[in-house]
A and B are shown apart, each in its own frame.
Chain A
C-alpha cells in the first residue's frame, strides 16, 4: 500500500540528508509503528507519504514513494487526499472550519462526495469517536483530547485507505489515548485501513502494531521487523520491554498481559525484597515531608537553593486552602486543598480538562481564585509583583516556547539573568548543565522539543524558586530526553526545591513523584503516596505495577535495584 524505494530527503540548506536509505513497504491493512529517538526524521517520513514532503516543505526527495500505486512526486498532496488521511502533531493547526460537524464534512466536500453519503458518514464518525454530544460545539472550546478525536475524525470521513498519524496520543490522558487507539485499531480490523503512526509513548501503542519501523539514529536506514524483534535492539522501548530485557524473557512480551503470564518467576524472586522496597517508597514520601535531602548530594548550581532546614519556620512553598476557580461560567476548580513541602515532588494527574493547568496557573497568579486562599511561600500570587514572584515560584508552561522571546540562546540567558536579578552567567551555566551542547547562537525556535523545554526550565530556575511547577513536561520527549529530565528534577528535589508536575505520563509520575494528587472535575479525588494512589487505579498504574501486582513495584529501575 505504501512503498518507499531507497528514499532520502535533504532539506534546503542542510548538508546531510535528514533521512536516507528508507526502503520498506507497508502492506495493505497493517498498522506500522514508526519509532525512534527525537530528531531522527520520523515526521519527514510521515510527510513523504502524504506528499507534503517535498511538495510543501521544500527540499529534495530522492527515490520513490508510492501510495496505492500513485507516485507522490507526480501527485500533489491534494490529489492524494482521497487515499491518505494525515493528522499532524498539533490538532489546532489542522482545523479549517469552526464547528465539529463542519470540520468532519470538510474533507468530503473537497472530494465532492454526494450529500447523502456525507451525512451518513458524519453521523457514523460522530458515533465512532464519541463526538455526538459535541457536534455543534465550536472547536475552540473543546479540550485537547476532544480536539484530537475531531482531527482524526475529520480525516476518517473520506474513508482514506491510508491513515498517517503523527503523535496521536501525546496530548491525551491515558483514558482518552486508549479511546483514540481503540478507534484506530477498529479501523485496521474492520475497514482494512493501512496505518502508519509515529509515537513517543511506545507503552501505549506497541501492542497494536503489526510491524515496527525503527529509525535508530539521524540519517540511519530504518530497521523493519515484528515488534518483539525490533524492541530487542531498539534504543527506545516501553517499560514492559525494559522489564522483559531485565528478566531475560525471549521473545519479549509487548503487552502487560503477556508479561504477567511470564512474570511468575520474577514475582517469586522479588517476593522477599518487597517489604524493603515498599518501606523505601513510604520512607521517600515521608522523608520528603520532613524535607530531608534524598538521593544524590546537591550539585554546585543548586548551592544557593533555599533549604527548609536553614529556615525551619518559613512558610511552605505552596499552600492552597478551599480554592475555587470559576472561569467563563465553568467551575474549573472547587474546594481544592493542597500543601507542598520543600523537597517534595507532587504529580497532578487526571483527565484532560480536570483542572490541572488551572491549579498551576493559580499558583503563579495567572488565574485569580474566586474563593479560598493560595499562598506561595507566604505570598498571595496574583497580588505579588512579577519581579518578586519569580523568586518564590516558577512555571514551565505546556508550550515552553511561550517563555522565550529572544532570537538566540545567549540573549535569552542574559535576559533571564537580568529578570531574576541573578549574577550574569547563572542561566547559561544552568543550560549547559541541563543540556550540554547547545550553542549560544542557536535560535530557540530551531531547538528540538526537549531542548526547548530544557532552556525554558533553565530560564525559570535562574531565579532559584523554591517551588517549581511543570505543565505536561514530557510531551514530545523521547525516552532519553525524559530520563535526563528525571535526573535533573531528582537533583532539584534533593536540593530542597518543591516540584509540582501536571502530567498524563504515568511512567514519569511513577519515577519521580513522592505523592500523587488525582483531580476530577476540579476536585481532588485522591491524594497520597505514589505507590498507594496509582496501584489502585487501572488507568493511572504504570506498566510495571500492572505486571507485578499485587506487589507494589513502580519502575524498572526499582526492580533492577532490588535484584542487584
Chain B
C-alpha cells in the first residue's frame, strides 16, 4: 500500500487515474434539464398566482403548468405525487368554500343564496358566527381566494413532478452536500414507513385479525417504528462503509479562513437585513447585506475543499435551463407589475358582482410560461418493466 493517510482523492483507489481532461459534456447529463430551472420556473408560476385573484388568469396558470407537466414529467415515483398535489389543492378549495358557508364571510353582500339556521353563541365569542346568511358575494370571494391557494399548491406539485427534490439537493455546494444527503435519507423515511404499515397491516390478516380499522393501525405502530429504526441504523452503517463523511486534509489556515468568512458573512447578512428593515439604516443596509452574502458564499466554497467529493454526471445549467427559468421569472415579474398598474383587472370585484374579464396583456404574459413545453428536452419514455 502506498499511503495510509487521508489523502482521499486519488492515490488509493487502486487503479490508474484517467488523464486530467476537462469534463466534456458526455460526463454530464445534458439530456436532462437542470432541476433548479424546473423549480425556479414552477415556483415563479406559483408566485405569479399569488399576485392575482382573477379566476380566468388562475385557470390559465393552472393549464400552463399542467400542460408542461403532462409533456415533460420524468418517469420517476415522485412524478406520481402530482396527482396527490392536485387532490390536495381541490381539498383546500373545498374547505375554503365550506368555511365561507358555515362561518360566514367578512365580505358584506346583498345577494343571499340561502339562510342557514344561525347557532347562538355566548357573548365572549362575539365576532364569530355559525350559520346565517350565505351570500353570493362571500362565496365568490372565498372561491377566488381558495383558487389562488390551490394554484400555488399545484405549482409546487409541478416542481416535484418535473424534477424530484432529491435531484435538486444534489446540486447543493460541496460543503452542504452531506447535510443534503441526510435530508434525502430522512425524506425517504416517510414512504418506507407507509410501505411498512401497509405490509404489516396486510400481515395481520395472516394472524386472523381484521386488516382494516384504526385498531389494526395502532397495533402495528410499534413494530413499524422498530423496523424503521433498525433500517436507519443499517443504512448509516452502509453509508459509512461506502465513504460517507470522508474529509480531505486541509491546512489549518484554510480551515480558520473558512470559519471566519462564514461567521463574518452571516453576521453581515444579519446586520444588512436589519439595516434594510429599519428606517434609519437605509444607507448601510444594502452594502452590508451584499458583502455579508459574498463572504458567506466564499466561506461555503472554501468549506467545500474539506470534502473530497466529486459529482457523477452533474446536471448542467445551460442555455435551455436559463430560458426555462427566465420564462417563469418573467411571468412572475410581469404579473407583479400588472398587479400594481391594473389592480382592477387582476382582482375582479365581488362587490358589486361582476363577471371577471380576461385582461389581455397579463394573459399573454402567463402564456410565456408555456415556453418550456417547446424548449425543454422531453424525457424518453421508459417501459415499466
Tell me the A residues contacting B by CB distance below 8 Å: 50-52, 55-57, 68-70, 75-84, 86, 88, 90, 92-99, 101-102, 105-120, 122, 136-138, 140, 154-155, 158-161, 329-330, 364-366, 385-387, 389-390, 394-395, 397, 401-405, 415-416, 419-420, 445, 459-460, 463
**B208 interface residue (CB < 8 Å to A):** yes
Contact A105 B240 (CB under 8 A): no
Top 10 nearest A-B pairs (CB, nearest first) are: A81-B243, A110-B243, A105-B312, A112-B308, A390-B208, A93-B234, A402-B203, A115-B27, A69-B1, A419-B208
How distant is A165 from chain B, measured CB to nearest CB, in Å? Answer: 13
Residues of B contacting A463 with CB < 8 Å?
Answer: 208
Residues of A contacting B236 with CB < 8 Å?
Answer: 56
Contact B312 A119 (CB under 8 A): yes
Residues of B contacting A95 with CB < 8 Å?
Answer: 235, 238
Interface of B is mostly: loop
Residues of B contacting A76 with CB < 8 Å?
Answer: 240
Contact A117 B18 (CB under 8 A): yes
Contact A111 B8 (CB under 8 A): yes
Contact B235 A82 (CB under 8 A): no
- Known A-B contacts A82-B12, A386-B211, A459-B207; the reply to A111 vs B243 at CB < 8 A is yes
Residues of B contacting A159 with CB < 8 Å?
Answer: 13-15
* Least CB separation from A102: chain B residue: B312
Contact of B199 among A80, A158, A402 (CB under 8 A): A402
**In the complex, A387 Cα to B312 Cα: how many Å?**
53
**In the complex, A464 Cα to B10 Cα: how many Å?**
62
How distant is B210 from chain A, measured CB to nearest CB, in Å? Answer: 6
Contacts A112-B8, A114-B23 known; 11 new A-B pairs at CB < 8 A: A50-B241, A70-B1, A77-B237, A81-B243, A82-B243, A93-B238, A94-B235, A109-B310, A113-B10, A115-B313, A159-B13
Residues of B contacting A115 with CB < 8 Å?
Answer: 23, 27-28, 310-314
**B116 interface residue (CB < 8 Å to A):** no
* Least CB separation from B170: chain A residue: A102
Contact B223 A405 (CB under 8 A): yes
- Known A-B contacts A78-B246, A82-B12; the reply to A116 vs B207 at CB < 8 A is no
**B206 interface residue (CB < 8 Å to A):** yes
Residues 174-230 of B contacting A (Cβ, < 8 Å): 181, 184-185, 188, 199-200, 202-211, 219-220, 222-223, 226-227
User: Which of B26, B184, B207, B248 has the most A CB atoms < 10 Å from its CB?
Assistant: B207
Contact B203 A403 (CB under 8 A): yes
Interface extent on B, as a size class? Answer: 35 or more
Residues of A contacting B241 with CB < 8 Å?
Answer: 50-52, 77-78, 80-81, 84, 86
Residues of A contacting B220 with CB < 8 Å?
Answer: 405
Residues of A contacting B245 with CB < 8 Å?
Answer: 78
Residues of A contacting B311 with CB < 8 Å?
Answer: 109, 115
Residues of A contacting B278 with CB < 8 Å?
Answer: none
**B17 interface residue (CB < 8 Å to A):** yes
Contact B234 A79 (CB under 8 A): no
**In the complex, A419 Cα to B216 Cα: how many Å?**
13
**In the complex, A83 Cα to B23 Cα: how many Å?**
26
Residues 279-318 of B contacting A (Cβ, < 8 Å): 308-314
Contact of B204 among A111, A330, A386 (CB under 8 A): A386
Residues of B contacting A105 with CB < 8 Å?
Answer: 312-313
Contact B219 A405 (CB under 8 A): yes
**B340 interface residue (CB < 8 Å to A):** no
Contact of B207 among A96, A113, A140, A416 (CB under 8 A): A416
**In the complex, A57 Cα to B223 Cα: how many Å?**
22
Residues 22-70 of B contacting A (Cβ, < 8 Å): 23, 26-28
